[in-house]
Structure 1
């Protein structure tokens, strides 16, 4: 059975390369605005992930995750860092939530650790882990902070990886069990749910490139992992909706505006392929459009894993889609690059501003991405569930003057507002991240937080960006 993207104006034709139509200076807002310009119902918050901040990797019954194992191998993470202690949020969450409250942040997106709740991935539940998230959620609500919960943010139980992980179709049942457990214990208080965090990243980086956990390389694991993650994306949504009919259910995607390096046919076609891989591969099946195989012919091997009925099983009517945008990608044709025949042209080569992650600072990109996803007929609402930047922050005399991050947030927010004013259904914005944290294969070097963490002392220091965000949320600050 074939699940090609249907011949619909929503699919490949939707790839619109617009940077030449709007010179950078032409799309920057000049008028200063306040929070009220976004509307009273616009959701503001910050985002985190369990493995990146919790620590407590082996206490109170928690099982090992693929990141516990991967980061424990020499050379997999820069400077051999790991998330064993991270920000010690597991123990410090009461103080951290009170710090969040002091910054007037009304919504907190965090993930649940699958191996903390189900150490073996399925079967026996860990009561200590269940109790921990009950305390965390209760304290959020006591402080007037609304919890937004992500079911899966990359920390797969290692016991499941030993059985094939995302490449094993059995993960669909394991994930359904996990989702039901979370709904049962937290659904009475949690009203906003996200099923997966960036499936293209955890399948691509973890099962094809091998640079993230579990460190697998090649198509053997990647292709089935893509299909099984797509199934779990929908099945997880159905479990939540069946058990929590009043909840708002979404999922999140990493999205980068893609442009051709040159106005040449080969570069344009290369950009279409990269766009299909990065931005369309997981959203279109959920909308009933199938996989975009017309533009990703090398992915046709996925048909081997598609069983009867899967075309319907991958569909789910999400209440919102989480957009996670940081940069844009500029692409040129490369005959020698396997499969996709495209290379990314790095910001340094193009002489454009970049962050500590070597990502281009390109605020217009979030505007284009919001418009792109808004064109899909089946999407009801968009929420920017991650946006932020890593810079070389320094703690000097008890302060962190991260003016470059303040500028980054302001410029990206201008583009979000511009899209909203043009009719895009964007109704929320979450900064990545609340605190500096373990940044996966990059270790602790990149700092994304509004709050600075001294990892030796665990001392917290609010950065200038945190103070700015507070003032903006309180209506005191314009940008």
Structure 2
């Protein structure tokens, strides 16, 4: 593990984009202001599903303190800020009238970012579905995709003149698996393989929204997809088959339609609703960049006599045709996730090999780690340092990577984990909402300054 003084990172390509990320539900708070409606996650939290009881309606107070957080970004020297727009703040009912007061907030945020020379990089969907749509079926209902495109058009009509890059969806795999298949996240459905329509409708929503964004004059349209290298737990055929199925369901089920216009195999395509071939033509419209969220690899094997398995707080029923295993021999984050920096390079090389020229320029849209408190922040620095070196090696191997967003700028409400897991470069006191930059903030600031200094020389 590196200790101060840290070795300088090798030079990244000229024009490489350095940024940090956040999401609306995890940070904004102000749940009852601006005419915002409730989201499915608001209802999930109100039902007591956040384990430490953290007040998600308060978040980190970003809605009131956004200027302070933009100043922190400027202090980093960040080129871009990846934030998300809250769908129920803009269209409270999910359909129908646009809430101009909700859009006003993002208008102010975008102006503040531009004033500091920071590229606004909004994500239109970071899991907070308007509650009326969730109650009507959410992503199981094709109508949700149509409503999402209308919302995207409304946001772009207001912001496209100043926004430098757009992401339609964040991590559709997690929404499908955790929200609809296993019930661990909102909306809490436990449908197992019957959750597959939620994947298709999210992908369709992406395609329809990308079309709407471009029609409104949006520049640089992409998506943020989570990817994890999947390793078989053993050499036997059963373990390899289980790992292959998991890899298909969590990786290729999403990247193949986006980048090739086809599902990984005909059996999966046959389970999808609607005019699948026509939808795939919409889903596969060319992207300006492909966002990759990477945290750790997964080890998967055959289920053990129907016994449930789990990883990182997620329980997997024993009647599924795969089981999750712990990654052997790796250091662990505060979340219990294995620290495997080389997995980022392997993942990017794998995408490059699978898709070739069909893979757009890549942006790492999330990468980061949780540790319990500021006393362990040196471990966050070691994590980020090692992953950036792995990313640099992938670029040296020929993968076209254009930028990197660390997750996250500040500590935030980490979904069902609440305030217990801290990913931020900036510490948040949840009693006072006071921000305190950590050592990792200062380290990242020095990294960005050194990279920009090299580019300028």
TM-score, scaled relative to structure 2: 0.91
Q: Does residue 302 of structure 1 match 2:271?
A: yes
Equivalent of residue 296 in structure 2, options 315, 327, 346: 327
Structure 1 counterpart of 2:386: 411
Tell me the equivalent position of 1:55.
29
Q: Could you tell me which of 83, 86, 90 is aligned with 1:113?
A: 86
* Equivalent of 1:102 in 50, 55, 75: 75
Alignment of 1:402 onto 2:380: no
Residue number among 342, 362, 375 corresponding to 1:382 in the alignment: 362
- CA distance 1:332–1:228, shift in 2 (3 Å): same
What is the CA-CA distance between 1:356 and the residue it aligns to?
1.5
Structure 1 residue 33: Cα displacement = 4.2
Q: Is the 8 A contact 2:196 2:272 kept in 1?
A: no
Distance in 2 of aligned mates of 1:339 and 1:301: 22
Cα offset for 1:470?
0.4
Aligned pairs (5 A) from 1:49-448? 49-74=23-48, 76-219=49-192, 222-244=195-217, 247-293=219-265, 299=268, 302-307=271-276, 309-334=278-303, 336=306, 341-347=321-327, 350-375=328-353, 376-377=355-356, 378-394=358-374, 402-448=377-423
Q: For the residues of structure 1 that align with 2:410 and 2:72, how far apart are their CA atoms? A: 11
Q: Tell me, in whole angstroms, the C-alpha distance in 2 between the residues paired with 1:339 and 1:330.
A: 18
Q: Alignment partner of 1:177: what SS? A: helix
- Tell me the secondary structure at the aligned position of residue 176 of structure 1: helix
The 8 Å contact of residues 207 and 216 in structure 1, kept in 2 or not, is answered as yes
CA RMSD of superposed structures (Å) = 2.0
Partner of 2:450: 475
In the aligned structure 1, how far is the partner of 2:20 from the partner of 2:76?
11
Query: Matched residue of 2:411: which SS?
Result: coil
Q: Which residue of 2 aligns with 1:15?
A: none
Q: Structure 2 CA distance, aligned partners of 1:436 and 1:445? A: 10
Q: Partner of 2:424 in structure 1?
A: 449
Distance apart, 1:165 and its partner CA: 1.1
Pick closer, same or farther for the CA change 1:303–1:214 going to 2, 3 Å. Answer: closer
Contact 1:288/1:315 (8 A) holds in 2? yes
Q: Which runs of 5+ in 1 are unaligned?
A: 1-30, 395-399
Structure 2: give runs of 5+ residues left out of the alignment.
Answer: 1-5, 307-316
Q: In 1, distance between residues paired with 2:320 and 2:349?
A: 25
More divergent stretch after superposition (176-185 vs 97-106): 97-106
| CA displacement, residues 409-431 of structure 1 (integer Å, 9 cap, x when unaligned) | 00011100000011011111110
Bigger mean CA deviation after superposition, 352-361 or 308-317: 308-317
SS at match of 1:466: helix
TM-superposed deviation, 1:96: 1.3
Taking structure 1 as the reference length, what is the TM-score of the superposition? 0.87
- State the partner residue of 2:437: 462
Q: Call closer, same or farther: CA 1:289–1:131 in 2, change over 3 Å.
A: closer
Distance 2:331 2:9 in 1: 26
Residue 459 of structure 1: how far off its partner (Å): 1.1
